[in-house]
């Protein structure tokens, strides 16, 4: 066992997969951060943690049922010579859900900002059952966790053969997500332009998921690079605006 753990191939495989899982987990963090910031302050942190723990449980359960996961890639039916599998259906409807949720949040942020601010702090929202609001948010996070987890697990299976390495990489990625979630959430909440950029990113991810379900492969490296570049430019813009405020 010790020899297996200290094997350079095992270490390289673990680090590679963990890095990939962390990158794929960015989608989860952004979605959870955006959703949590719409909730009453007293339950935001609980929703963030519960959502990420749900992602961990989902990924581990999918890894422990690999035979079922891989069966999802088998053809269920065909439409105009286009073969459709269970995975395709999950990605397609998950992508649609992500498009709907991200576009709705962009509308609330850009077109209905004042109304939304009043709604979040209103007595009507507070009078609702906090438990009902909490579980409603968890349900939405759970839907996207299933989609992201499925994509993540299938990617892991394509890279590594050992189930123990997969689970260890998933644990490390979720641990990183737990550490980074609050900082990322607070940063996104403080800067509306970053929030809109993050929501636009989620819309792109939704389109990528739909394209993947139709067997149109879009390299995710291009998507993440474009987003990282856009984020870098916007961070520079924020620094420039802050500098002008200080100089005044």
* 177-229 confidence digits (pLDDT tens): 778 777 877 777 777 777 788 788 888 888 888 888 888 888 777 777 887 88
Range of the domain at 38: 8-247
The pLDDT score that the predictor gives to residue 148 is: 74
Residue 103 domain-assigned (yes or no):
yes
In whole angstroms, give the CA distance from residue 195 to residue 12: 35
Residue 3 domain-assigned (yes or no):
no
Other Cβ atoms within 10 Å of 108 Cβ, number: 17
Average pLDDT over residues 88-116: 77
The pLDDT score that the predictor gives to residue 121 is: 47
The pLDDT score that the predictor gives to residue 123 is: 44
Kindly report the average pLDDT of the chain as a whole number. Answer: 75
In whole angstroms, give the CA distance from residue 9 to residue 4: 9
Residue 160 domain-assigned (yes or no):
yes
The pLDDT score that the predictor gives to residue 28 is: 74
Residue 1 domain-assigned (yes or no):
no
Residue 167 domain-assigned (yes or no):
yes
pLDDT tens per residue across span 120-161: 444 444 545 777 777 888 888 777 777 777 766 766 666 666
Of 11-15, 155-159, 202-206, 230-234, the least confident: 155-159
- CA–chain centroid gap for 126, Å, is 27
Residue 206 domain-assigned (yes or no):
yes
The pLDDT score that the predictor gives to residue 197 is: 83
CB crowding 12-39: b at 16 or more within 10 Å, else e? ebbeebbebbbebbbbbbbbbbbbbbbb
pLDDT tens per residue across span 59-68: 777 777 766 7
Tokens of 3: 């020899």
The pLDDT score that the predictor gives to residue 210 is: 87
104: helix, strand or coil: helix
Residue 194 domain-assigned (yes or no):
yes
The pLDDT score that the predictor gives to residue 114 is: 54
- CA–chain centroid gap for 97, Å, is 13
Q: In terms of pLDDT, which residue wins out, 107 or 8?
A: 107
Would you tell me the crossing angle of helices 8-36 and 41-64 to the nearest 10 degrees? 140
Query: How many domains does the chain fold into?
Result: 1
The pLDDT score that the predictor gives to residue 150 is: 72
Percent helix / strand / coil, the chain, rounded to 5:
85, 5, 10
CB within 8 A of 36, min separation 6: which ones? 44, 45, 47, 48, 51, 137, 185
∠ Cα 145 54 37 (to 5°): 75
In whole angstroms, give the CA distance from residue 141 to residue 234: 27
Find, among 163, 138, 133, the residue nearest to 69 by Cα.
163
pLDDT for residue 52 is more than 70: yes
Whether residue 21 contacts residue 58, with contact meaning beta carbons closer than 8 Å, is answered with no
Average pLDDT over residues 27-56: 78
pLDDT for residue 162 is more than 50: yes
The pLDDT score that the predictor gives to residue 160 is: 66
Residue 179 domain-assigned (yes or no):
yes
The pLDDT score that the predictor gives to residue 51 is: 79
């Amino acid at each position: 066992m010790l020899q297996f753990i200290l094997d350079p191939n095992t270490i390289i495989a673990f680090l590679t997969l963990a890095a990939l899982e962390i990158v794929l987990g960015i989608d989860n963090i952004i979605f959870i951060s955006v959703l949590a910031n719409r909730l009453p302050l007293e339950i935001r942190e609980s929703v963030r943690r519960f959502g990420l723990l749900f992602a961990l449980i989902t990924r581990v359960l999918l890894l422990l049922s690999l035979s079922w996961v891989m069966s999802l890639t088998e053809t269920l039916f065909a439409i105009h010579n286009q073969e459709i599998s269970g995975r395709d259906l999950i990605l397609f409807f998950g992508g649609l859900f992500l498009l709907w949720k991200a576009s709705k949040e962009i509308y609330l942020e850009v077109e209905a900002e004042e109304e939304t601010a009043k709604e979040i702090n209103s007595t009507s929202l507070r009078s609702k059952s906090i438990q009902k609001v909490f579980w409603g948010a968890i349900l939405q996070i759970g839907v996207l966790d299933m989609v992201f987890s499925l994509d993540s697990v299938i990617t892991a299976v394509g890279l590594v053969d050992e189930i123990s390495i997969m689970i260890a990489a998933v644990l490390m990625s979720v641990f990183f997500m737990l550490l980074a979630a609050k900082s990322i959430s607070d940063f996104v909440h403080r800067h509306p332009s970053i929030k809109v950029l993050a929501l636009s990113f989620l819309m792109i991810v939704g389109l990528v998921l739909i394209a993947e379900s139709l067997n149109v492969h879009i390299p995710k490296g291009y998507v993440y690079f474009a987003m990282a570049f856009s984020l870098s430019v916007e961070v520079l813009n924020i620094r420039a605006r802050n500098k002008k405020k200080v100089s005044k």
